[in-house]
Amino acid sequence: MRIRNVKNASEIINNSKYFIKYPKEERIDKIFNNEKPIHLEIGCGKGKFITEMAVKYPNINFIGYERSESIILRAIQKAEERDLPNLRFICADASDIKDIFYKDIDLIYLNFSDPWPKKRHAKRRLTHENFLKVYDDAFKGRKEIIMKTDNDDLFCFSVESFSKYGYIIEEMCIDLHKSDIENIKTEYEEKFSEKGFTIKYVKVIKD
Ligand SMILES: C[S@@+](CC[C@H](N)C(=O)[O-])C[C@H]1O[C@@H](n2cnc3c(N)ncnc32)[C@H](O)[C@@H]1O
């Protein structure tokens, strides 16, 4: 995602009530202070999906997770226009998830993750086995991941990676917008579907 480096991004996001400072001492469940399930979107970009999900599902807590300060700033600005006690954001790399969450998360969304097409960069894909390992301890119990992408190669790689790691496919479709699966579009999804790309979707679970 190309975005200008925004001056003072760090200061602005640190002052937002929506921002979880990391590293932190507080446990994640103390932040929401309730027993509602927590859904995490890794690589939330400018936050359209996670913000609209938080509006639609007030009985679920949502965390948007993004490594770029300038990008997460846009997501936080979107959230600031509303009052959403069930939404927070964290700015960190996905590899830090093991230091931030422990048995907190019910579901992970991977929406339009960077495809890293070169074979030598496969380990950077957020569905690579190494990342699946990182997510393991973040899950509260049953592991559930939902992935959407326009990219055929990343989709095939990911489905194989999930399966090899012991995940079971619960729902899958290769043209999400022609299916009856409930869906909120992300920024990338709007952009790519307008260009004529079909959107691939898979939901996997692991006990
Ligand atoms: C292609 S964009 C998709 C954004 C959004 N999910 C959407 O669908 O519109 C991928 C996003 O993931 C973030 N990202 C990529 N690798 C990441 C990582 N290792 N940890 C955290 N965020 C990451 C990027 O900064 C970028 O904002």
Q: Is 150 in the pocket of ligand 1 (CB under 6 A)?
A: no
What's 159's domain CATH number? 3.40.50.150
Q: How far is Cα 113 from Cα 127, in angstroms, rounded to an integer?
A: 9
In a domain, 1, yes or no: no
* Ligand 1 centroid – CA 150 distance (Å): 14
In a domain, 194, yes or no: yes
In the predicted structure, residue 1 carries a pLDDT above the cut 60: no
In the predicted structure, residue 6 carries a pLDDT above the cut 70: no
159-190 burial: b if 16+ Cβ within 10 Å, else e: bebbeebebeeeeebeebeeeeeeeebbbbbe
In a domain, 2, yes or no: no
In a domain, 118, yes or no: yes
The residue range of the domain holding 89 is 9-206
In a domain, 80, yes or no: yes
pLDDT tens by residue, 92-137: 999 999 999 999 999 999 999 999 999 999 999 999 999 999 999 9
In a domain, 4, yes or no: no
Q: How far is Cα 193 from Cα 47, in angstroms, rounded to an integer?
A: 18
Q: How far is Cα 90 from Cα 102, in angstroms, rounded to an integer?
A: 15
Domain count, the chain: 1
Q: State pTM to two decimals.
A: 0.96
Segment 54-71 shows an average pLDDT of: 97
- Among 9-13, 16-20, 84-88, 140-144, which stretch is predicted with the lowest mean pLDDT? 9-13
Q: Which of 29, 83, 96, 114 is catalytic?
A: 114
> Is 93 one of the catalytic residues?
no
Segment 164-186 shows an average pLDDT of: 98
In a domain, 3, yes or no: no
Atom 3 of ligand 1, residue of closest alpha carbon: 112
